A and B are shown apart, each in its own frame.
Chain A
Amino acid sequence: MELSQYAELFLSESREHVSAINHLLLTLESDPRSRDAVEGLFRAVHTIKGMSATMGYRAVADLAHEMEDLLDRVRLGRMTPDAELIDTLFAGCDALELSIETAVEEGDDDGASVAPVVARLRALAGTQAPSQSIEPVEAPSAVSAPAAPALPTLDVDADEDTAMRVRITVDPASPLPGVRAFMAVRAARGLGTVTSLEPSEAAMQEADFAGTVRFVLRSAVPVDEIEATLRAAGEIREVEIARGLMDAPVQTGDAAAAEPGAAAQAGAAGRARNIRVDLRRLDALVNGVGELVIVRDRMRRLAGAAEPELADSIDQAARLIGELQDEIMQARMAPVWQVFDRFPRLVRDAARSLGKRVDFVIEGKEIELDRSMLDEIGDPLVHLLRNSLDHGIESPAERRAAGKPETGTLRLSAARERSRIVIRVEDDGRGIQREKVLSKALANGLVTAEEARGMSDDDVARLITRPGFSTAETVTDVSGRGVGLDVVATRVRALGGMLEIASQPGHGTSMTLQLPQTLAIVRALLVRQSGETYALPLTHVGETVHLLPEEIGAVKGRPVAYLRDEVIPLHSLRTLLSSNGVRPEGKRAAVILEVGEQRVGLEVDALLGQQEIVVKAFDATADTLRLFSGATILSDGRPALILDAGSLLGAAATGV
C-alpha cells in the first residue's frame, strides 16, 4: 500500500497530538492527580504510536511506545507523576516532535536519533518500578507448556462417545496469537464443553505463548463442522482433532492461508472532505484577486461615463469581485492559537530556567488572523514573552519583598478592535526601569541629557522600541540583558502593525501589537505630496481634515493644529520626505494619524481619496526606505509608495 499519500495527514495530526501532549504535561505538572491529563496523554501517545507504526516510522513508534509504557504505569497508579517523570516525558515529547518531522521529511528513520531518550524513559521505568513485567492475574500454576505439547490425556471421567482431543496451532504470523487462540477456544466453548485447557487463557496472553493450545472438547457436533468453526476464529494454521482416547489424530489440515487481495490497492479513493492547499497557491490567488480589485476600481471610474447597461454590468462584476476577495481572504484566516499553542511550554521552560514562578494565561485564542501574518508574529511574540520573563517578572523573593504574590502573572491576549487585531502581552512585574532605559538611550545617543529629563514615562517606554536602542549584539541574546524590542517593533511595522509599550513602575508592563487583519490587501488613503502619490493604510488614519489658518498655531515653537478642543502636533510630509516645492494656497489638508494612544497631524499637499491597494512588501530595513512599508500599483496603473505611520511618527519625534 502506497503510504506516502498519508504522510501529510500523519504529520498534521501528529503535530496536534504533540501539542496536546505538551499542554497536558503542563496540566499534570500543576495538578499531578489529574486523571483527565493522564488519560489524555496516554491516548495522544498511543495514537501517535499506532499511526507511526502504520507509516513504518520505527523511531517514532519506539519512542511513543516507551512513553505510553510510562504513562500506563502512571494510569495504573504504579508510578507517580513527579518532577523527574514529567521532565522525562517533556524530553520524550521534544524528541517525538523532532523524530516525527525527520521521519516525514526523510521518509524513513533508523531509530538512532531517539535512542538516548528511549534509554532515559526505560531507565525511569526501571528505577521507579523494579519488576514490572505485567504479572499474569492467575498464573497457570505449575503447568509450563512444553515446546510441542502432545494431545492432552483425558480426564478419568471422560465420556467416550463425545470426547475429543483438540490441538490448535495459530499462524505464527498472527500479530496477537494469544487472542486468536482465545477466540478459537471461545468458539469451541460454543460447541460443547472445554476441559483440560492448556495453557490457560491467562497464559495465552503472555509474551512467550508458543501459539499452540490443547484441550478436551465434548460435543455432539460432527468433526468437520468443529474444525470449520475453530478455523473461523481466523489465522489458524492447524487443527488436530482426535476422537476418544486414541493417540492418533484423525484429522489434520493446513490452512490454505493465501492472502486474498494481497495485491495491495494503491491510490486513495478520495473521500476527503477537506483539502489542503499549498499556501503559495493561496498567495497567488490573493495576488490575482488583488490585481482584479485594482481593475475593478478602474472600471468603476470608467463606468460613470459608460452606457447604463454597461455600467450595470461593471457594477455587478465589481460586487462579485468584492465577494470573491472576501472569500479568499477568509480562506486564509487561521486562529491565533495555532501560534499561541507552543507558548505555555516555552514560558514554563523559560520561567524555570530563570527561577521565576509564573501563571501564564491565554485569552482570545480563537481570534483569526491572515495565515501569512500568523507566520510572522510568532517570533516577535516569543521576544515579548521572553522580555517579560527576563525583565518584567521578578524573582519570588523580590516579589515577596515588594508585597506581591510570589507567582507572577503573564497574560497573552488577542482581541479584535475595529478592523485591527490587538495582541497584548501583560505582566505584573516591576515595570520598565526608567533610569536604566534612559542611561542606555543616552549612551546610544538616542536622547540628550536635557531631553531625558523632560520625558514622560510613556516616552521612556517608547524609547525601547526605537531603532538603535538595543545593539546588534543583544538582539540575539535572548536570555541576557536586552531582547531587542526595537527589532520586534521594526518587524511589526513591516507587517503594517504597531508595537506599543506602557508601563507602571512596580506594577507591570503591557506590550501591545496592533495588526491589520490581513496582509496583502489594505484600504488606504491616497495623498499627494510634491507631485507624487503616496498611500497611507487606513489602519492608522483617524480622520482627514482641511485646516483653516486660524486652526494652526505653535506650542514651544512647534506647529500644532487646534482640532475641536484638542491640540495635536502637526508635521509636514514635505519636511519629513525632504521634498521640494511650496505649500499650496488655501486650506491646508492634513491626515490625523492614530498610532496607539498618539494622535499626530500630517500635513500633505492634497487628499486624493481611498482605494484598496495590494501591498508589495520590500525590505524596509534600508535606511532610506524607513518611512515606507512597501509599494503598490494604483488603479490608474501608476506605482505608489506606502507610508508607514509608525515610522513617520518616529521621524517626527526625532525632528528628522
Chain B
Amino acid sequence: MSQTVLICDDAIFMRTMIGDILTQAGFQIVAEAETGVQAVEKYRQHKPDLVTMDIVMPDMGGIDAVREITKEDPSARILMCSAMGQQALVIEAIQAGAKDFVVKPFQPSRVLEAVQRVLG
C-alpha cells in the first residue's frame, strides 16, 4: 500500500505541484489543508505517513501547527516547505519537531530526497 500524505499550503498552486510530485513518486494524497488549524484537524483525522507543511498560512501558521501535531503525535513526520530567506523560521520549525525542509522553488528531486530523509 502506498504511503499517505497530508499537504498543507494556502496556495492551490503549491498544493497541486507538491501533490503532483508526490503522486508520481507513488504516494497517496489523503488530504489537503489551507490553514494551520485545518492541518492539525486533518492530521488527527487521517494520521498520514507524511505531512508537507507550508510556514506562512492564515489561521495558525505552519510552525504552530507542527507544535500542535507533534504534541499529540511525537512520531509525526513533517516536512517543512519554506521560501528563501526563512532560515530562522525553518530552524524554529525543526526545533518544534519538523523532520526536514525543502525550499521554494521546488525541484522534484530535492523534494523526494527530503521526503526520503523524513521517512527514512
Contacts and interface: CB of A to CB of B under 8 A. Distances in A.
B104 A9 contact: no
Contacts of A205: 87-88, 91
Contact of B16 (A6, A46, A50, A261): A6
Contacts of B20: 268-269, 271
B74 interface: no
Nearest to A1: B108
A271 B87 CA distance: 32
A13 B15 CA distance: 12
A174 to B, nearest CB: 9
Interface stretch (A94-102, A176-184, A318-326, A431-439): A176-184
A259 B24 contact: no
Contacts of B29: 271
A175 interface: yes
Given A40-B58, A47-B56, A186-B94, A53 B113 contact: no
B109 A10 contact: no
Given A179-B87, A234-B114, A47 B109 contact: no
A143 interface: no
A43 interface: yes
Interface string B1-45: 000000000111110110111011100010000000000000000
Given A6-B17, A9-B16, A43-B57, A183 B105 contact: no
A42 interface: yes
Interface in A1-42: 1, 6, 9-10, 13, 39-40, 42
Contacts of B103: 175-176
B52 interface: no
Interface string A243-286: 00000000000000001111011001101100000000000000
Nearest to B22: A269
Nearest to B102: A175
Contact of A271 (B19, B104, B116): B19
Contact of A53 (B16, B21, B84, B100): B84
A176 B112 contact: no
Interface string B43-84: 000000000000011100000000000000000000000111
Nearest to A72: B85
A42 B56 contact: yes
A264 B105 CA distance: 14
Interface string A170-202: 000001101100110010000000000000010
A639 B99 CA distance: 71
A259 B109 CA distance: 6
B11 A261 contact: no
A56 interface: yes
B43 to A, nearest CB: 20
Given A54-B104, A269-B23, A6 B13 contact: yes
A574 B19 CA distance: 66
Contacts of B91: 178-179, 182, 201, 205
Contact of A232 (B57, B83, B104, B117): B117
A52 to B, nearest CB: 9
A50 B83 contact: yes
Nearest to A13: B13
Contacts of A46: 56, 83
B112 A260 contact: yes
Nearest to B93: A179
Contact of A182 (B12, B85, B94, B112): B94
Nearest to B58: A43
A56 B105 contact: yes
Given A54-B104, A259-B113, A179 B90 contact: yes
Contact of B10 (A47, A183, A262): A47
B13 A9 contact: yes
Given A50-B11, A182-B94, A234 B104 contact: no
A51 interface: yes
Nearest to A39: B58
A261 B112 contact: yes
A201 B90 CA distance: 13
A49 interface: yes
B109 A262 contact: yes
Contacts of A265: 21, 24-25, 108
A56 B94 CA distance: 28
A178 B91 CA distance: 9
Nearest to A259: B109
Contacts of A43: 10, 56-58
B28 to A, nearest CB: 10
Contacts of B94: 179, 182-183, 186
Given A261-B112, A265-B21, A265-B108, A47 B11 contact: yes
B7 to A, nearest CB: 10
Nearest to A274: B12
A176 B117 contact: no
A178 B87 contact: yes
Given A176-B90, A179-B90, A51 B108 contact: no
Given A46-B56, A260-B109, A51 B88 contact: no
B25 to A, nearest CB: 7
B82 A13 contact: no
Nearest to A209: B87
Nearest to B94: A183
B56 to A, nearest CB: 5
Contacts of A176: 82, 84, 86-87, 90, 101, 103
B41 to A, nearest CB: 19
Contacts of A201: 91
A50 B87 contact: no
10 A-B pairs with least C-beta separation: A175-B103, A54-B105, A269-B23, A259-B109, A265-B24, A50-B104, A53-B105, A205-B87, A262-B109, A268-B20
28 contacts: A6-B17, A9-B13, A13-B13, A42-B56, A46-B56, A46-B83, A50-B83, A54-B13, A54-B17, A54-B106, A55-B105, A176-B103, A179-B87, A179-B91, A182-B94, A183-B94, A234-B100, A259-B113, A260-B113, A260-B116, A261-B25, A264-B107, A265-B21, A265-B24, A268-B20, A271-B20, A271-B23, A271-B29
Interface of A: 1, 6, 9-10, 13, 39-40, 42-43, 46-47, 49-51, 53-56, 65, 175-176, 178-179, 182-183, 186, 201, 205, 232, 234, 259-262, 264-265, 268-269, 271-272
Interface of B: 10-14, 16-17, 19-21, 23-25, 29, 56-58, 82-88, 90-91, 94, 100-101, 103-110, 112-114, 116-117, 120
